Chains A and B, each alone.
Chain A
Amino acid sequence: MAGPAAQPGGPAPTPSARRPVPVWSEWVGTVVRLALAVVWGWAGLAKVADPAEAAQAVRAYEILPESLVKPIGYGLPFLELALALLLVIGLGVRLVAGVSALLLLVFVAGIASAWARGISIDCGCFGGGGHVDESQTKYLQEILRDTGFLVLAGWLLWRPRTRLSADGWLAG
């Protein structure tokens, strides 16, 4: 079972032992972990079907040079799917949460930059992407949504121990 390993007959836990985390928080962590997994899984699957579309979504930000547009457009959905898979099984949760948070910050920065430069694009976060009519941009909603996902990643960075996880099983 998870929780600090009891030292048989030991007086007090060694200084390096983890502070006990309430059980309810580990269950909250499980829910958060699976929710973030759904986000990445959905985002990844939506972009996998049409590589040209995914590349165009990246190109539309007008940030990356053409030589990087395709590798990013092609690789990003798979990165998202890998994060989803790792979150589902709960392996290396703190590291995965860190990568997730980093990625989300990059997305928010990209959207904010497009907004600031006055170009009209769909973020392409969940498929689609590319240029849209100026009246159809949703930069604020997109940034708020990503910020919400960032909160999920932040929780897991803070409390990476969750129930029903490979990490917990390995620490067994």
Chain B
Amino acid sequence: MSEKNREGKRTARERMQEQRAAEEASSRRKKKLIVGGAVLAVIAAAVVTGVVVQNERSKPETPTAAPAGTIGDKNLVIPVGAGNAPAVLTVYEDPRCPACGIFEREFSSTIDQLEDAGKVYTNYHIVSFIDRAVPGKGSRTGANALACAQDAGHFRDFHDVLYRNQPDETNDAFGNKAVLLNLAKQVNGLDTPGFRACVNDNKYGGWVSSVQQDFDKSSYKSTPTVLLNGQPVYPKNGNDEITPENLVKWVDAANQGKQLGTAGSNGQTPAPTSAASEANNPSPNAG
């Protein structure tokens, strides 16, 4: 049989097979394109939906309800002391942060005295990021309760009570509203139906989230962050360790030659006369 003859005898069956294979290949390609398109469409739709939905959910960055007397362009800051005091002490604190508890139990009476003497105007940023790292919601419910106390005019007293009774970081006692309401009874005049409703309804939840988002965008990464006239002083101011005595010294130096602000405790319990720090152990019955 010659080559030519064999060529000529390529049967119809072989040609049909080739054609079918080509068709199958083309249909496989088409299927692949459709599947690939569908996959990319699903991914794109999910991402777009996600961005839109989460954007909606993370609102409002400027909260609709802020506690009375808060300051700053978005009313995210709780001020304590006389507004005309010459020095500003800025404090970023999380209700669950153990280092904040240690700081407060050592410094709160000193800071209260500086406020009452018209020497400092303290600006509190009550952040709530421990909840992200340690399971629980005590940072947020605690911050909301502090906002409620601010609304009622008892922020400083309740703030001091909370930190004196701070549970261990892993114990989410502040996530339990009953614990917060119980602690509020230690502050004269705070335990009112309005305050209880504010805590139970998480009235300032949006505000709390806004304060945290503002902290997220700041350059500060941990709590407590303490600034005296914008200058970090915790844990050290330059080479000097922060102590109650040093803090007073630094404030007095900064206020040198300036008119002090209005003295008085602005409706809070007046500061103790001695600067003795609180017993530095959280109350065991907070939980």
Contact = CB atoms under 8 A, between A and B. Distances in A.
Given A50-B132, A52-B209, A52-B216, A78 B35 contact: no
Interface in A127-159: 127-133
Contact of A132 (B17, B35, B57, B133): B133
A54 B54 contact: yes
Contact of A53 (B50, B51, B132): B132
B189 to A, nearest CB: 34
B51 A75 contact: yes
B57 A51 contact: yes
Interface in B37-91: 38-40, 42-43, 45-51, 53-55, 57-58
B39 A52 contact: no
B216 A79 contact: no
A77 B21 CA distance: 42
Contacts of B179: none
Interface string A15-56: 010000000000000000000000000000000101111111
B50 A91 contact: no
Contacts of A125: none
A121 to B, nearest CB: 9
A70 B58 CA distance: 10
A96 interface: yes
Given A56-B216, A95-B36, A95-B39, A78 B132 contact: no
B43 A83 contact: yes
Contacts, number: 99
Contacts of A75: 47-48, 50-51, 54
B54 A51 contact: yes
Contacts of A115: none
Contact of B50 (A77, A85, A96, A170): A77
Interface in A66-85: 66, 70-71, 73-79, 81-83, 85
Interface string B19-44: 00100110000010001101110110
B35 A7 contact: no
Nearest to B57: A51
Most-contacted residue by chain A among B53, B54, B57 (CB, 10 A): B54
A91 B41 CA distance: 12
Nearest to B61: A52
Contact of A14 (B21, B42, B50): B21
Contacts of A109: none
Interface residues of A, number: 45
Interface string B145-163: 0000000000000000000
B222 A131 contact: yes
A10 interface: yes
B129 interface: yes
Contacts of A5: 24
Contacts of B4: none
Contacts of B36: 92, 95
A52 B213 contact: yes
Contact of B55 (A70, A85, A92, A130): A70
Given A82-B42, A82-B43, A129-B132, A170 B216 contact: no
Given A52-B212, A55-B216, A82-B46, A130 B132 contact: yes
A78 B50 contact: yes
15 contacts: A14-B17, A48-B54, A70-B51, A71-B51, A75-B54, A78-B50, A78-B51, A82-B45, A83-B43, A86-B42, A86-B43, A95-B39, A96-B39, A128-B133, A170-B35
Interface of A: 5, 7, 10, 14, 16, 48, 50-56, 59, 66, 70-71, 73-79, 81-83, 85-86, 91-92, 95-96, 99, 122, 127-133, 167, 170-171
